[in-house]
Structure 1
């Protein structure tokens, strides 16, 4: 397989459970579960055997209701949580041959700082609200080993300009910014080391509609200019329709349907996806 056909990220059978499990819920098909919860022992199966690939320059959408496991899966990918089991391979890391979940915490830090960026639903998870905006970007550059103050300043200004933060506000702290501007600073920070993969988790939730639209436009233009691969998680099919090339639909910790976004919107197969699509119309 030549490099252009290799996925940037390949994920195999991610499982994440909270609790030990018991005789009632450990069966391969999860027959004893109520949705993704075991009523006998209280174990929650947040992610169940999730597998997918993301290709170069592609936006993969993941849609599902609250509690479907999509944000947990993103946390596992960014090492905010440990997986219970599963594999993930990044093409630009050790030739794409090493399961990154089994790497040391030092190597995971390297992957987070160089090969991935993440934009959280809540900017507090990523930004230091009292630092200047440019200081927040410098922090990510420093954790990737950059020590040149001049270079970091230039890079920070370039990125903030790229996400439409005016020059005169670059030294201002994000706590003074609106929600939409905080998301823009987060996006700039996540892009600072040119990662091949960007993870975006519910980035428009809680924003006004006009602000949502401008953040989505920004994401689309970044993807076009930088040809970066992205995974976008949302409970809003409208967001996924606007951005994603392919889409996975999640319910109760499992992928229940996947395909080209247009195909899923025009001809949804699963009852849950049909309901989602109807709610869009």
Structure 2
């Protein structure tokens, strides 16, 4: 594993609300969970730091409302960070805090450096476009104008995620949930991004379909050596996929370490609860 992170996040915060004297000073913060009872501010992510290394899968686990999906949305620029820094190892944006880049520079990152697979496929796919059309849309956003190239790339990707080419002109709205997720993965991979975000991608799928999607993610990571951040409330998913894991609770990281280490010797009471629920 390279010693230089491909993505480095430091002191990331995302707050919903104005903050007040009761909650805005960390040393004097009186919160109920991640909520200020005085002014109503929600500290969705509070002083989160992480490193993602080339070729690794970083798992982020936590219950609903722990801040893990908010972190993903801000990293992918679906939402704005309140404060903090994030740096990507790429010559075009090296040494630049990506949270403070122009919208044009953020588009470059989304189109060339990032892939995103959402929990709800409707957020990642245009349901009234064909499957191969969804992949072409991402390629066009990155500047590709060669129709033959795009069709060849689209076919290769759909085969890779086990979508029959006989259905490539079909719209994803006709597909099962598992097939929609696989089309989303193909679209996210279309520009060979070095970083892939996966947000609760197996939630709501049948167990056998979940297993197929998880196998596909592992296969892609093994063959393409893509760095991934996988968010889940399910420690069994994280156990199967992640090299290292962050545990989040009420917007904060409460434990971090090698996944095996966390499973075998959890330190925080919340992590212990998660691990014991697996046994």
The TM-score by the shorter chain falls in which range?
over 0.9
**1:145 and 2:143 correspond:** yes
Distance in structure 2 (CA, Å) of the matches to 1:212 and 1:105? 35
Match of 2:6 in 1: 8
CA deviation profile, 1:51-106 (whole Å, cap 9, x unmatched) = 01000100000000000000000000000000000110000143631111110001
Q: Which moved more, 1:203-212 or 1:18-27?
A: 18-27
Choose the corresponding residue for 1:67, options 65, 68, 77.
Answer: 65
Distance in structure 2 (CA, Å) of the matches to 1:21 and 1:30? 12
Query: Cα offset for 1:31?
Result: 2.9
Distance in structure 2 (CA, Å) of the matches to 1:199 and 1:143? 18
Match of 1:251 in 2: 249
Query: Cα offset for 1:30?
Result: 5.6
Choose the corresponding residue for 2:223, options 204, 216, 225.
Answer: 225
Match of 1:21 in 2: 19
Q: TM-score, normalised by structure 1?
A: 0.98
What stretches of structure 1 of length at least 5 have no aligned partner?
none
Match of 1:100 in 2: 98
In the alignment of these two chains, the number of paired residues is 279
Match of 1:173 in 2: 171
Query: Cα offset for 1:39?
Result: 0.3
What's the secondary structure of 1:45's corresponding residue? strand
Distance in structure 2 (CA, Å) of the matches to 1:59 and 1:90? 16
Distance in structure 1 (CA, Å) of the matches to 2:34 and 2:173? 37
Match of 1:41 in 2: 39
Match of 2:203 in 1: 205
Match of 2:133 in 1: 135
Query: Cα offset for 1:216?
Result: 0.1
Q: Which moved more, 1:88-97 or 1:195-204?
A: 88-97
Q: Which runs of 4+ in 1 moved over 6 A?
A: none
CA deviation profile, 1:117-156 (whole Å, cap 9, x unmatched) = 0000000001011110000000000000000000000000
Distance in structure 1 (CA, Å) of the matches to 2:28 and 2:39? 13
Q: TM-score, normalised by structure 2?
A: 0.98
Query: Cα offset for 1:4?
Result: 3.2
Distance in structure 2 (CA, Å) of the matches to 1:29 and 1:238? 35
